[in-house]
Amino acid sequence: DRAVRAALLRAAADRLDGARAHLVEAADAETALGPVRLDGELTRTTSQLRSFADLVDEGAFLGIRIDHPDPAAAPPVPDLRRMCVPLGVVAVYAAGNFPFAFSVPGGDTASALAAGCPVVIKAHPDHPATSEFVLALLRRAAADTGVPPEVFGLVHGFDAGVSLIGHPLLAAAGFTGSVRGGRALFDAAAARPVPIPFHGELGSLNPVLVTPGAVAERAREIAEGLAASMTSGTGQFCVKPGLVLVPAGEDGDRLVTALTAAVSDTEAGVLLDARIRDAFLAGVTERAALEGVATPVTPGAAGEHTVAAGFLTVDAARLAAEGPHDLLLEECFGPVTVLARYDGPAGAEALLARLPGNLTATLHLSAAEERGEGDAAALLE
């Protein structure tokens, strides 16, 4: 019943808000993301739940369509009616860097419940206790609204996650995480006797193109914004800018100088777990060893458990040609970005043409430049 779905979503939000202080404390103990960041994320999460409740009340998501019969049409049109119905159980694979918004109570869970589907969440190993805490609150919300608590399920561990995608009752899956992990689950979903939809967010490079006009106009401002963006959350946001195209020449040099100062002033941070830290350090070492790569501020280990932010620079022409530098076009999770110095519009366009799909793309223009100028904007789109 749609009214019950909406009530459940709102009750879940209320239960989470009521336990806010304890939830933030638990999540911070497991992720080290900090109480300020986590409190804001929890607010986002409860807002998502209430927003989906509003959508359920509205009903437009049902896609109801009625085509009335028309015997005079060629061919004749019968009475046709359509609406969306819930398919069944949805698996949600939680993300490590968002213990609330992309985890047990996150957007995928809210979406599935709004559609009328029960959920089984595969908890992320970086915050298992927080996941269990949230599950208990969601099941209390179910009791508050007369819904069976089993509408929420939770499993832990790699093997359970693999088994879940093959379960015959599963109707769809949502995943946020690495390309490698997501592709493995996608392949498993497609290989089932009855394939199911797999909705995955599998990493992103998030390219940034700075035009000659923009860098001449505000090199320092762009550099400071870039430094803040690439180091936010210790570089563990899925929209972190991982590749920045900067013009060659003196204006571009000013941006590099300003970025060097801004990144150098950034304090060391803690990554979500030792596995992610090891992968970050190995990835940085491998990238920095490539021919022609410079490290104005070297990213890497800053202590036994922390990492320091930094960036790499390289000629865009090396990235435009296939070869070992293709590694620089893959996401490196953590506080690092790659600056590709390009020479003229053709140099930028040749590199942009090689990029895969991304969550975001950013274009910095000068005040005098028009939004639609050149092929670069079209390539980013």
Structure confidence at residue 381 (pLDDT): 84
38 and 174 belong to one structural domain = yes
Report whether pLDDT(365) > 80. yes
Residue 42 near residue 29 (C-beta atoms within 8 A): no
Q: What is the pLDDT of residue 380?
A: 84
The tally of domains found in the chain comes to 2
Q: For position 372, what pLDDT does the model report?
A: 52
Of 121-130, 300-309, 370-379, the poorest mean pLDDT is in 370-379
Q: Which of 161, 182, 201 is the last residue of a domain?
A: 201
The answer, yes or no, to whether residue 375 has pLDDT greater than 80, is no
Task: Tell whether 28 and 85 lie within a shared domain.
Answer: yes
At 269, which CATH number?
3.40.309.10
Q: Please check whether residues 194 and 286 belong to one and the same domain.
A: no
Cα separation, 329 vs 315, in Å, equals 13
Range of the domain at 31: 2-201
Establish whether 84 is a catalytic residue.
no
Q: What percent of the chain has pLDDT over 90?
A: 91
- Domain-terminating residue out of 142, 172, 201: 201
User: What's the distance, CA 201 to chain centroid?
Assistant: 6
Residue 376: is its pLDDT beyond 80? no
pLDDT of residue 374: 61
Note the pLDDT of residue 373: 56
Do both 144 and 265 map to the same domain?
Answer: no
Q: Provide the pLDDT for residue 371.
A: 62
- Tell me: pLDDT of 235 over 90: yes
Q: Which of 153, 115, 84 is nearest to 9 (CA)?
A: 115
pLDDT of residue 95: 94
- What residue has token string 């900067």? 246
Strand, helix or coil at 238? coil
The DSSP element (H or E) to which 220 belongs, if any, is helix 212-231
One domain, residues 47 and 140: yes
Q: Tell me: the pLDDT tens digits for 334-357?
A: 999 999 999 999 999 999 999 988
30, 41, 117, 238: which is the annotated catalytic residue? 238
The band of 246, judged by pLDDT with boundaries at 50, 70 and 90, is very high
pLDDT for the residue numbered 367: 85
Q: Are residues 193 and 212 in the same domain?
A: no
- Alpha-carbon span 248 to 317, nearest angstrom: 11
Sign, CA dihedral 104-108-111-117, equals negative
In tens, the pLDDT along 123-158 reads 999 999 999 999 999 999 999 999 999 999 999 999
User: pLDDT tens across 156-194, in order?
Assistant: 999 999 999 999 999 999 999 888 899 999 999 999 999
14, 255 contact by CB (below 8 A)? no
Active site residue 201: yes
Predicted confidence at residue 368, as pLDDT, reads 83
DSSP-derived letter for residue 76 is P
CATH of the domain at 60: 3.40.605.10
Choice among 201, 217, 330, 369 that is catalytic: 201
Residues 51 and 166 occupy one common structural domain? yes
Same domain, 257 and 331: yes
The reply to whether 152 and 101 lie within a common domain is: yes
Q: To the nearest whole number, what is the mean pLDDT of the chain? A: 95
Residues 293, 287 contacting (CB under 8 angstroms):
yes
Q: How far is CA 288 from CA 241, 282, 328, in A?
A: 18, 10, 10
Do 92 and 194 lie in one domain? The reply is: yes
Residues 47 and 176 in one domain: yes
Interior CA angle at 18 toward 17 and 20, to 5°? 60
pLDDT at 180: 87
As given in the structure block, the two tokens for residue 92 are: 């949600």
What is the pTM for the complete model shown? 0.87
| pLDDT, tens digit, 9 for 90 and up, residues 204-217 | 999 999 999 999 99
Whole-angstrom distance, CA of residue 126 vs CA of residue 145: 31
Are 108 and 217 in the same domain? no
Asked if residues 172 and 196 have their Cβ atoms less than 8 Å apart, the reply is: yes
pLDDT (tens digit, 9 = 90+) per residue, 96-114?
999 999 999 999 999 999 9
Q: Pick from 201, 228, 260: which residue ends a domain?
A: 201
Q: What are the beta bridge partners of residue 200?
A: 175
